[in-house]
Amino acid sequence: MSTLTAVLILVAAVAALLAAAFVLRARKGTGSGTRSLKRRFGPEYDRTLERHGGDSESAHHDLRERVERHGGIRTLPLEPAVREHYAAQWTMLQERFVDAPRQAVADADELLSRIAATRGFPEPDRPDEQLAALSVHHPHHVEGLRTVRRAMHSKSASTEELREALVRARALFEDLTAGSAAGTGTAARTRPASGRNRGHLLKPKGSGA
């Protein structure tokens, strides 16, 4: 075997090893990135993956883009009096559900959007951006706002579907009005809604159930 042939074989072997190492490193990085996104977004990761038809690359791009746009938001604190005012409004709209379920759901959408803006998230006139920002900071409960909006715009939504939407939205309300500016949605995840407030949603007027 000539010296030139031996050198070419050695170069080819080194190139193959480098290529294999690059592929392994890329796969490891992808797996690490997936785990990181799953930890950060929780159920929002799975919902995003589903919206992208199972295409993980597109879902990861979507989630990383949201973090890049909205991850730097620093939520503003609520004054105790403001928090109490919002709590009173939420109680009122739950009571209103008995007579006007659809209006109560619309009021919940408006109230949540207003509280989010007060906390430093995009304004209500940018609903998609507001949802994207909330999904970064409140990934465990942002779906509650989406559910409210879907129910509000669905002409065929039943009273029970409207009720369930309002119940789901309560967790996001608790997150947004928590005493500390917890940006990960942990506060409401460990604190269930009180029985007193849930009771307002159990039986709309005229319901036999």
DSSP 74: -
CB 59 within 8 A of CB 48: yes
Measure the CA–CA gap between 85 and 88, rounded to whole angstroms.
5
Q: Give the pLDDT of residue 197.
A: 43
What's the distance, CA 70 to chain centroid?
12
Measure the CA–CA gap between 198 and 139, rounded to whole angstroms.
23
Both tokens assigned to 63: 């989630």
CB 196 within 8 A of CB 162: no
Measure the CA–CA gap between 68 and 100, rounded to whole angstroms.
40
Domain boundaries, the chain: 3-70, 80-199
Concatenate the DSSP letters of all residues of 137-202 into one string.
H-TTTTHHHHHHHHHHH-TT--HHHHHHHHHHHHHHHHHHT-SS--TTSHHHHTSPPPHHHHHTTT
pLDDT tens string, the chain, 209 residues long: the values are 666 565 456 656 655 555 544 444 544 444 547 888 889 899 999 999 999 999 999 999 999 999 999 999 999 999 999 999 999 999 999 999 999 999 999 999 999 999 999 999 999 999 999 999 999 999 999 999 999 999 999 999 999 999 999 999 999 999 999 864 434 443 333 333 344 444 444 444 544 43
**Helices 3-41 and 43-51: crossing angle, nearest 10°?**
110
| Type of residue numbered 98 | V
The set of residues, in sequence order, having a beta carbon less than 8 Å from that of 173 and lying 6+ positions away, is 86, 90, 108, 111, 112, 115, 144
Q: Give the pLDDT of residue 33.
A: 75
Concatenate the DSSP letters of all residues of 117-130 into one string.
HHTTSPPTTSHHHH
Measure the CA–CA gap between 145 and 157, rounded to whole angstroms.
16
Q: Give the pLDDT of residue 31.
A: 52
Q: Give the pLDDT of residue 195.
A: 40
CB 188 within 8 A of CB 175: yes
